[in-house]
Amino acid sequence: MRSAQRTPPPEPEPGPGPSPSAVDAGLLRDVSLVCLAGGIVGVSFGAIAVAGGLPVWVPVVMSLVVYAGSAQFSAVGVLLAGGGPVAAAATGLLLNTRTAAFSLAVAEHIGRTRLARLAGAHLVTDETVAFTLSQRDPARRRAAFWVSGIGLFTVWNAGVAAGALAGGALGDTARYGLDAAFPAVLAALVLPALREDAGVRRAALAGAVPALALTPVVPAGVPVLAALAGLALHGRASARRKEGWS
């Protein structure tokens, strides 16, 4: 008599949050350094907004709901220059367009449940994407996304609240030179991928050329959108490789 074959139960869908086994000391160290810089920049943002005349609650609520550093700085700049809320929101949306492409790059590493995707979508930033894609295997990529995402969101909002409460007492925050911190961190995170993949190098070059050319003549944030041309090139190259394998 043949024994009935048992169908193995389906694997449970991963919920939001990293797997503890995929989190190591190196990842925590790197995330901590970026969080430190992010927190100080958050203090700068909160202080600038309140010193310019905005109520304390405006930068705090904006950071919780919008959570996009460059878009927040630009929107507050428009408000402080006399522009209306519609112009400020439009500026922020334009600068944040790039996160749509970033979300596609890390979507498979966020999780498959609705809760994971909803929470993860709010945590997508330049830094979380760079941390995620710099890892080699799916488990570490998922851990890197959630550790960096939760850490940066927490520290950024705490910094903004502290800066808003301090107001103009901090003086000119631009003198700290923190505008160079994030580009340096992102460059360090993507260097391994540039060394190992010629396709990534070509895509990076295709994005860097128009971004550098436009930087002196367009508002801040627009060159980043132009750099997405490199992402489109990389996507077409990946599609051609998949067609060749099939």
Hey, where are the domains in the chain? 23-168, 197-246
Other beta carbons within 10 Å of 169? 10
pLDDT digits (tens, 9 = 90+) for 94-138: 777 777 777 777 888 888 888 888 888 889 888 888 888 888 788
Task: Specify whether the CB–CB gap between 33 and 12 falls below 8 A.
Answer: no
Whole-number Å distance between alpha carbons of 165 and 126: 27
Position 236: which residue type?
Answer: R
Q: CA separation (Å) from 33 to 7, 28, 30? A: 47, 9, 5
Whole-number Å distance between alpha carbons of 90 and 87: 5
Helix, strand, or coil (residue 17): coil
pLDDT digits (tens, 9 = 90+) for 136-178: 788 888 888 999 999 999 999 999 999 899 876 666 656 655 5
Task: Specify whether the CB–CB gap between 31 and 131 falls below 8 A.
Answer: yes
Token pair belonging to 143: 């851990």
Predicted TM-score (pTM) above 0.75 = no
Residue 4 has pLDDT above 60, yes or no: no
- 174: alpha, beta or left? (left if phi > 0; alpha if psi -120 to 50): alpha
